[in-house]
Amino acid sequence: MTKNIISTDLAPAAVGTYSQGVELNGTFYFSGQIGLDPKTGVLAEGFGPQLRQTLSNIDGLLKSQDLKRSNIIKTSIFLTDLANFSQVNEAYTAFFEAPYPARSCIEASALPKGAVVEIEVIAAR
Catalytic residues: 105
79: exposed, middle or buried (C-beta count within 10 Å: 0-12, 13-18, 19+)?
buried
Query: What values do phi and psi take at 95, rounded to 5?
Result: -85, -40
19: exposed, middle or buried (C-beta count within 10 Å: 0-12, 13-18, 19+)?
middle
Q: Other CB atoms closer than 10 Å to residue 41's CB: what's the count?
A: 11
- DSSP, collapsed to helix, strand or coil, labels residue 107 as strand
CA 44 – CA 78 distance, rounded (Å): 16
